[in-house]
Amino acid sequence: MASSKRAPSKRGRNRSSTDGSRPVRGRRAGLHRAGLRPAGFAHARGNSEICALVSDDPKKLRELGRRYGVDHLYGYEDYERGLEESGADAAYIALPNDMHREYTERAADVGVHVLCEKPMALSVSDCESMIAAAERNEVKLMIAYRLHFQKANLAAIEALQAGKLGKPRLFNSVFTMDVKDPDNIRLKRERGGGTLWDIGIYCINAARYLFRAEPLEAFAWIANSGDRRFAEVEEMTGAILRFPEERLASFTVSFGAADVGSIAW
């Protein structure tokens, strides 16, 4: 689901009105995540509607279809057919990280905009392929990184740019959580699990948008206590980033500690 209006596609599938007179019709792919957090789209109710749901779990698919009043229900093998039959303008991709590229490109290839969960993909080449697919099909591709739009973050950026807090020289962040379920996809290497993909990006992006610059160098360490939960991925990661004008950002993220989130600069 996306809040932007549908741009014309060279495939001729321009279902959205350009004057905002009708809502954007979106479909969600990956109910194991998306169907459990509808509050994240509460602000979009005025200009968007769910027109289809996709899952490899038939029971969950039926339950969520009833809950949200959605008749178009599909398995992954019918993804493209569902996009066409439901009249979707945009697809919200909330699948495991290793599936982002495939389902983004499949949506783009049938002329549908894409809102893809973070992280975008698991390699630079995958990200570039996704961008190329969107450009080739003249559709929009956006990553669902919500903190760019959160009031507290925008206020912090504004205060720094206005000079109210002086010139930032250093940045430090801690983001930890205790992932107890050994079957959680965050702990599966082949699914794109690991601390950096899941929560490290929040610390990195916070430093980027507060410093208003890109890091020049990075040095990182990983640590593992030997807990069997972390047989495939690191338990924690610590890093230091060097930014232009000799500024430093450091952060630590962990899947094996109490839930904590903090930022200081």
In order of 86, 167, 182, 196, the CA distances from 28 in angstroms are 12, 42, 26, 25
Instruction: Express each pLDDT in 231-261 by its tens digit.
Output: 999 999 999 999 999 999 999 999 999 988 7
Q: Is the confidence at residue 263, as pLDDT, over 80? A: no
**Percent of the chain scoring above 90 in pLDDT:** 70
Q: Can you give the C-alpha Rg of the chain in angstroms?
A: 20
Domains observed in the chain? 24-144 (3.40.50.720), 152-264 (3.30.360.10)
- Confidence grade of residue 49 (pLDDT, cut at 50, 70, 90): confident
pLDDT tens, residue by residue, 74-86 = 999 999 999 999 9
Model confidence at 147, pLDDT cuts 50, 70, 90, reads confident
Active-site annotation holds for 180: no
pLDDT of 31 above 80? no
Catalytic residue among 79, 92, 103, 202: 202
pLDDT at position 106 is: 96
- pLDDT of 175 over the 70 cut: yes
Residue 90 banded pLDDT, cuts 50, 70, 90: very high
- Catalytic site residue from 60, 118, 140, 188: 118
pLDDT of the residue at 48: 83
pLDDT at residue 79, as a whole number = 94
pLDDT at 265: 67
42 pLDDT tier (thresholds 50, 70, 90): low
Q: Is 79 a catalytic residue?
A: no
194 band by pLDDT with thresholds 50, 70 and 90: very high
Query: How many CB atoms are located within 10 Å of the residue 37 CB?
Result: 9
How far separated are the first and last CA of the chain, in Å rounded? 35
What value does the mean pLDDT take over residues 176-187?
95
Task: List Cα–Cα distances, 9 to 4, 101, 191, in angstroms.
Answer: 14, 20, 32
Query: pTM for the complete prediction?
Result: 0.81
Is 70 exceeded by the pLDDT of residue 4? no
Mean pLDDT over each residue of the chain, to the nearest integer: 86
